[in-house]
Every structure is written in structure tokens, then in C-alpha cells.
Amino acid sequence: MTAIPKLRISVEDYLAGELKSEIRHEYIDGEIHAMAEASRAHGAIVAAMMCSLKPHARRSYSSDMKVRLNFAGKTIFYYPDLVASCDPGDRDPYFISSPSLIVEVLSEATERIDRREKLLSYIRLESLIEYVIVEQARRAVEIYRRRNDWLPDIVEEWGEVRLDSLECTITLDDIYADLALLPSAP
């Protein structure tokens, strides 16, 4: 049996395609992968974090801004749930290359990728100060910091999340406030 080669596309074709596509795709060294759909809870958490962080990060973006990574001769584009850049030279209209903060909200479909593949990729970014993983199913946030050799600090239930990259603190109450307003899943 002969293996079917995977279709590979150029960075330029990927970026042009994303401008027209109704579905977002992540790009890993020539291969594209469709993004999973987000739940209301996921959207509520991202929106709450964006509102809490906006006064501290004028250049912060939610789910529609890509992050570009280049390492080991490979180019990768991910769509994090929230990203902030403090680099005034990071000016591409469609992606960020020098993020200081990246946030991913976990779902069953993305948890393994967010905790392993993306963590290992993101921490290679020289500009990154913090990578934050927010649980959707329970009140818990993991903060991976460069200054702690990327070991996680875990905040649960009623704590506060200190973000060194933005010099601010947000509470878990702020992050999870809107979940009580959502209808429960069937």
C-alpha cells in the first residue's frame, strides 16, 4: 500500500486563503488544520478576559489574530484565544510575531494540543513572558512564566491571576463571571 502524500501549501498561499476563508485554519510547516468550534462558555471566558485586560494592553487581540512562530526551519501560525504584544515594531496587520502574553482557553477538543504542542512551541518565542491556560470546566488558571523556567503557577477557585507581562491582576471572579448567565449545556 502506498502512502498518500499530504498536501503542503506555502505561507503566502495560507495567508491569502485565510483572508477569504469562513473557517480559520492553523498552519504547521506547510500543513493546514481547521479550527474547532468554540462553545458559549469558551467565548464568555475570552470576552471577560479581554475586557479585564484591555485597559492594561492596548495591543491585545482575541481569537482572530494569528501568532507566527519560526524555529528549526519551520513556520507555524496559531490562533490563540487572546494575545498581547508590547513590541511597537510588531506591526503586521494579520499576525503577531513578538507576543508578550498568550492565553488559551481549554476545551475537550484542544486541551492536549494547548498543554503540549502549543506550550512547547510558544515558549520558544523570545518575546513571550507568559503563557496562560484557562480551564473551561472548572475555575482554574495555569500561568507559565519565563522567569519561573516555564513551570506553572496554578490559581484555583477564588484566587487572583497576576500577569507580569501587563503589570496587572485579574480575579477568577472576573474571568468566570459570565458563565452563570449562560444556559447549561444539554
Number of independent structural domains in the chain: 1
SS3 62: strand
Place of cell 473557517: 23
The answer to the question of residue 143 being in a domain is: yes
pLDDT of residue 86: 85
Strand partners, 101: 84, 130
Q: Looking at residue 108, which CATH number applies to its domain? A: 3.90.1570.10
Cell numbers for 170: 485579574
Query: Are the C-beta atoms of residues 144 and 119 closer than 8 Å to each other?
Result: yes
pLDDT digit of tens for each residue in the chain (186 aa)?
A: 566 566 799 999 999 999 999 999 999 999 999 998 888 999 999 999 999 987 777 678 887 899 999 998 999 999 999 999 988 888 899 999 999 999 999 998 889 999 999 999 999 999 999 999 999 989 999 999 999 999 999 999 889 999 999 999 999 999 999 887 666 543
pLDDT of residue 181: 61
The answer to the question of residue 166 being in a domain is: yes
| Nearest-angstrom CA–CA distance, 38 and 24 | 12
The answer to the question of residue 42 being in a domain is: yes
The answer to the question of residue 146 being in a domain is: yes
pLDDT of residue 173: 94
| Nearest-angstrom CA–CA distance, 107 and 39 | 9
Pairing of strands 66-71, 60-62: unpaired
The residue length of the chain stands at: 186
Domain range for 105 is 38-65+80-178
CA 53 to chain centroid, in Å, comes to 14
